[in-house]
Amino acid sequence: MNNNKREKTTNNQNDSALIQCAELILPYLQPADLASTSSTCKTLNKISNSITLRRSSDASRSLEKFPIPFINSIDNQSYSYFIYNRNQILSTAVHPRQPWGYDPDTRPYLINPGRCYDPFLFRVDGAKGCRCERGCDRSSGCPCLDNVEFGAWECGPGCQCGPDCGNRVSQSGILVKLKIVKDRRTGWGLYAGEFIPKGQFICEYAGELLVTKEAQSRQQIYDQLASSGQLSPALLVVKEHLPSRDVCMRINVDATRVGNVARFINHSCDGGNLDTIILRSSGSVLPRICFFSSRDIKNNEELKFSYGDIRLKKQGLPCFCGSSCCFGVLPSENT
């Protein structure tokens, strides 16, 4: 073998090693690091562009039934970076890096279509729910359907019925087609990718579950960053008066860094087209915040809900919901 052939063979081997290494490492990079890497050579530029394209084609990392693409005709931001999680998680100061943008043809074992999804963060040991074996409905006399003391109730880990039970509609992830579209005024928003009938489960508000002190601390930081346009926070606080009316329970879920596509749902002063439901399940300690369609929703229509009615900050962030009853300022209160 002459020197030219040896050199060509060596170069091909080096390129192959570079490609394999890059396809393994680059999906872990955040956008700024990925952009810096892409400028170093043609090979890495090509791989980085492919990763960016795959990221923009599915925010859910193949964890949901359908891909949820980013669509942007406003600027050159291909996608919004965050760590995808389908349900509540405990708060943590350090978040593990999550690969996003792998080539499914070369690394199919990294594609997990939600097979390991568990919507329940804490379970009650020994809890006894329903004993229905053929699915739950009114005719079966399922006790979970009659448990209205605390509002909406689904079958859960304490029940004998299986995952196909009709009273587990929120426990299989997102089952409707959605897309994330960027607007010049409101930024990214979540839109219907198909017709959605009234009463359809849309998604859970997934993210870090915080104690109140941590939620208040984070909100102070987020307010400062948001006022200067450096951050779009997604910390949701839901307050619920228990049946005695003497106790108010609050749920703090922060989807700013970790969450699902619910973090892109914008506010509407008229209540929008989504109902916010605090959903409990037999055998589960914590309720979950879930969204259901409050009316029929057309294809390409933006999904919205009300962030609240209290506006303590007169100079708060502007509201661009476009409803006839728009207050002009987003809801705000002392977290």
17-31, 81-95, 105-119, 288-302 — which one is most confidently predicted on average?
A: 288-302
**239-261: average pLDDT:** 84
For residue 104, give the amino acid letter. Answer: P
Q: Is residue 252 classed exposed, middle or buried when 0-12, 13-18 and 19+ CB atoms within 10 A define those classes?
A: buried
For residue 205, give the amino acid letter. Answer: Y
Among residues 116, 147, 115, the alpha carbon closest in space to that of 130 is found at 147
Indicate if the pLDDT at residue 59 is higher than 90.
yes
The CA radius of gyration of the chain, in Å to the nearest whole number, is: 23
pLDDT in tens, 135-147: 787 777 888 887 6
> Phi-psi region for residue 334, left (φ > 0), alpha (ψ -120 to 50) or beta?
beta
pLDDT of residue 127: 81
pLDDT of residue 19: 86
Angle at CA of residue 308, ends 303 and 309, nearest 5°: 125
Strands 235-241, 70-71: pairing kind: unpaired
Indicate if the pLDDT at residue 203 is higher than 90.
yes
- Give percent of the chain with pLDDT exceeding 70: 86
Q: Which domains does the chain have, with CATH numbers?
A: 17-57 (no CATH), 60-91+119-304 (2.170.270.10)
Please name the residue that has the structure tokens 């409101």.
Answer: 186
| Separation CA 330–CA 315 (nearest Å) | 10
Indicate if the pLDDT at residue 110 is higher than 60.
no
